[in-house]
Amino acid sequence: MAGEARDWDMVSQLLNEEADRKEREGGESAPDEQNGTSEWPDSYTTKTYNVPDFRADTALKHLNALSIKAVKLGMPAFEVESGEPFLTPADGTWGIEKGKVRMIPFTVTGGPPMIEGWRFLAKIDHDDQMNIVQGFGVDETVEKEPGFLKHLQSCEPNCEHCNLKRNRNTTFIFQSVDDPAERIQVGSTCVDDFSGHNSPDQVISLATRWLEVIRDYFDPDDDGFDKPSRGQMHFEVEDVLAAGAAIVREHGHWVSRDSADLDGSSAVWVQQLILDSKSFSEVVKPCDEQEAADILAWLRSDAFDDKGNSYLGNLKAMAIREAVPFKYTGFLASGVATWHREQGYRQKQAEKPQANMKLGEPGEKITLDATVEKVIFIDNQFGGSDLNILRDNDTGAKLVWFNSGRRTMDEGDSYHITGTVKGHEQRDDLWQTKLTRVNSPEAMLAKQLKDKPENTKAIQKKIKATHHINARDGRGDTPLLIASYYHQNTMKGREVIDALLDAGADYTIESNYSMTPFDHWVVAGDVDLIERALTEHPELAKGWTEDDLAKEIHLTDDDRVTVAALLAKAKTAATAEHDQPRAQNQQPRHDQEQYPAPKQSSSNDAAHDLGLDDDEEDLAGIRLG
């Protein structure tokens, strides 16, 4: 503990020193009247990164050095704010097999420099097969021009400044500040002359180092940084995807880093498999290898559509290679979850074609029940947004909504939404209605349960207004899961649980952590709820043993005996029910119809600190640079 305190003191000292420096230099770190700027430069972004404490002091020193360079180039100094440290299981990450790692959240505002009249748009590492594009906000441009990313991935290493044809490893794309449509490709050695800056070498140095520092020190998915021996290793793409397929098959869905519990994330499991040939041969089956081949064929095909998304584009860039570096194996393996989502989406489209029609008029507010068919994370310089693709439950019409806030919906669930019609457009010969300012009573209920769980009256009022009581939030949690987790931790909120159950809430639905509300009730030691659940659904008992009960501190000795007896009785009943053939007219439970298991991927990750995961949201956050 003393060592941890010293580490945190060192980080705090660095932050204090940086604050003192800004004060001495006139407070130029933030945009204000004193330094003549009214807002942050367009090239700056604000993002939060969780950094292991053994990287923190070095990361801050490098960031501070870049900030000083930015000030010398006439830019505002970077701004860094630290959050409350927390512990997370290592699970093999950073070369640590056991124990936990202390993480520190850092919110960083900064970015590459701007030269007069131009801003950095993209850095291109050229390759004979396909270029890797590392953006300074390139996805915002790609959103408007879907063909732009394909151009960057295949463009020659030319320099439009000197017009000399030669082999170049790296070029930069600059965008005009006055005319965003005007762009120029400049070789790395010509940036000095092109910029006309007093310190051109410092301009290119800061731009390049910004990408490197964010990747090496602040990117939570760059596990290879502290393991150079592994970072220098490469792994065949077929093996990486086969390992990912095996993990999804074993666990039912892809678990992102932000949504991982004590068992760790899928990316970590994949890396452990590919580093251990014995485990790989035992876990990976022929069906996983076949699935990997199918995914590769999909990624490598001309029909693959990256939708202007850098995550998908870089996924394809890796898939066409023979092998990838260790630090990108988790990224590539996430393609398994993406492929499963795509297959599920196509199957739903085939089963129920969407109606080719418009809904409402521009500016009109409409209210309807809609099902979320797909959520796609779109990266941009502001941190990204979710493209929600929905279907009107009554007409089958397609709706789309860009949500830049916290994710509030989960794929496959229905919501009673209200939104304003922004317009209509055709995509693939199908009309879609574009919505803005979308909300739903389901989202408001989930927000109330998380932000103010103690306000029982407000929650009960929102429960009555909710149309789809089992709709999940952006983390994949139903209202009952959220309320039960709060009840477990505080021994409060029982009346909210009762109100949700009266409204039809299903306590057999699992979270992305494979926990049901029933599991939270056992941990909370709520015997009444346990007895109710086991009476109606005895199969819930299968996940608990007497040894598990002995570890639950909220159960008294008498309650532990009572619950053990209930579990034993329920297991007997569940076995008898399982052995009895299902009647031909017997229908599956409501949750089996609406929430098929296993789900192929978790919903939201990084933005809400998923706390997001949707996998693409989490994985697009890798940024590849």
Residues 37-50 have a mean pLDDT of: 71
pLDDT tens string 197-245: 666 666 777 777 777 777 666 665 555 455 434 554 678 889 999 999 9
Q: What is the DSSP string of 128-181?
A: SS-PEEEESSHHHHHHH-HHHHHHHHH-----TTT------SEEEEEEESS-TT
Q: Encode pLDDT of 470-515 as tens digits.
A: 999 988 999 999 999 999 999 999 999 999 999 999 999 988 877 8
Who's near 514: CB < 8 A, 6+ residues apart? Answer: 252
- Domain identity same for 479 and 584: yes
Q: Over pLDDT 70: what percentage of the chain? A: 74
Distances (CA, A) of 365 to 368, 397, 431: 10, 16, 18
- Among the listed ranges 227-241, 453-467, 549-563, 597-611, which one has the minimum average pLDDT value? 597-611
Q: Domain for residue 602, yes or no?
A: no
Over residues 434-462, the mean pLDDT reads: 95
Residue at 603 is within a domain: no
pTM: 0.45
| Integer-rounded Cα radius of gyration of the chain | 26
Asked which of 96, 113, 130 is the last residue of a domain, the reply is 113
Once rounded to an integer, what is the mean pLDDT over residues 455-478? 94
Which structural domain range is residue 392 located in?
A: 355-439
Residue 163 exposed, middle or buried by CB count within 10 Å (0-12, 13-18, 19+): exposed
User: What per-residue confidence (pLDDT) applies to 201?
Assistant: 65
In whole angstroms, give the CA distance from residue 123 to residue 212.
12
Q: How many domains does the chain have?
A: 5
Q: 79, 113, 147 — which closes off a domain?
A: 113
Domain check: are 166 and 231 in the same one?
Answer: no
* 317 contacts: CB under 8 Å, gap ≥ 6: 130, 131, 132, 153
Distance of CA 507 to the CA centre of its chain: 26
> Is the same domain home to 451 and 558?
yes
Residue at 140 is within a domain? yes
* Domain CATH code at residue 537: 1.25.40.20
Residue 1 has a pLDDT of 41
**Are residue 231 and residue 332 in the same domain, yes or no?**
yes
| pLDDT tens digit sequence for 83-103 | 888 767 656 666 544 345 667
Mean pLDDT of all residues in 440-460: 95
Regarding whether 88 and 140 lie in a shared domain, the answer is: no
Structure confidence at residue 98 (pLDDT) = 35
* 467 within domain boundaries: yes
Which pLDDT band, with edges at 50, 70 and 90, does 359 fall under? very high
The answer to whether 81 and 142 have CB atoms below 8 angstroms apart is no
Encoded amino acid at 101, one letter: V
Same domain, 487 and 502: yes
pLDDT value for 583:
34
Q: Is 90 exceeded by the pLDDT of residue 611?
A: no
**If you average pLDDT over residues 586-613, what whole number do you get?**
31
pLDDT in tens, 17-31: 655 655 555 544 455
* pLDDT at position 405: 85
| The pLDDT of residue 471 | 96
Final residue in a domain of this structure, among 113, 142, 176: 113
What is the rounded average pLDDT for all residues in the chain?
77
The yes-or-no verdict on residue 38 having pLDDT over 60 is no
